[in-house]
Amino acid sequence: MLVTGGGGFLGRYIVEQLLMHGENVRVLSRQRYPELESLRVECIQGDLRDRAAVEGAVKGCEVVYHVAAMAGIWGRWEDYYGINVEGTQNIIDACLAWNVERLVFSSSPSVTFNGSDQKGVDESAPYPEKWLAHYPHSKAIAEQAVLQANRPGALATCALRPHLIWGPRDGHLIPRLIQRAKSGKLRIVGDGKNLVDMVYVENAASAHIQAAGALVNTPEKVGGKAYFVTQGAPVRLWDWINEILAMEDILPIRKHVSANVAYYAGAAMETTYKMIGRMHEEPRMTRFLARQLATHHYFDISAARHDLGYSPKVSTEEGMQRLNDDLACRR
């Protein structure tokens, strides 16, 4: 089993669950992870854009979980394209060259996000014609390549779209929320009543392993398809954020900024940052972020339930308690 990005947040949970199932696991990542090596995980350092490194990592594997990606809401298109698109194509090519049986791709619901509300949409939602950020654009191209690579009798592929992954050991989403709130830079965008889906990290990891199993048991049903993966019950975004902040004894966010003001402020910041060449420093607001914070986006996961046998084993309530315990340990 190969897990690209196996040292990252989601990737590590996938690795740990595979180890619990008694699997031999290999990881491809740009860094060394001694803690994984101590678990007898084979760790290979390499960049997704390096075809030779990718081929060496894929060789001898029956299943590839392609989790690694360049995430975020800001940066240069060539970087997103190189890592997310060309890197994924390298994975596909290596899988075909070495007769890998199954490829599970970690995608994102943002590949269908056009800036407007998404209320209970399913996988029939189209890709947008215009993009508000490079990340969803590049992930959409990569997702399509993975799904088109599905070949009955050869390589079976599918893509998962976990939304707002959270939980213990998160080094990005939760810490950034807390840091922004502490610095007084967090504002409710819009009316604060928007509902969003999210998914606890262990549930997202389990879905990947279930998808790999479904590609064996029912490849004619699952192969070449994408699936939304969530907790199955949306939350009011800003209430959920305030619940997380309360774990750190931070007062709830009450100040608002209108959705349109945030959007146009984001557009202005993007223009300014491009003009002065600050492509490696994320603006405080962007158009994509403004729309994500203000709109409804929750999804119908009936297909994942039916085709993959997915259900969120860890409830949101239990996950929040585990997150609270984790934050307490970090203090």
Which residues are designated catalytic?
135
307's torsion region: left (phi>0), alpha (psi -120 to 50) or beta?
A: alpha
Rounded alpha-carbon distances, angstroms, from residue 204 to 40, 45, 164? 23, 25, 10
Fill in the DSSP letter of residue 248: T
Are 1 and 65 in contact, with CB atoms under 8 Å apart? yes
Helix (H, G, I), strand (E, B) or coil at 104: strand
Beta strands 156-162 and 225-229 are parallel
Run of H or E including 126? none
Residues 29 and 169: their CA atoms lie apart, in Å, by 18
Are 10 and 201 in contact, with CB atoms under 8 Å apart? yes
The tokens describing 40, both together, are 């007898």
Query: Is the Cα dihedral 148, 87, 13, 326 positive or negative?
Result: negative
156, β-bridge pairs: 102
The tokens describing 72, both together, are 């975020």
Neighbours of 263 (CB within 10 A): 23
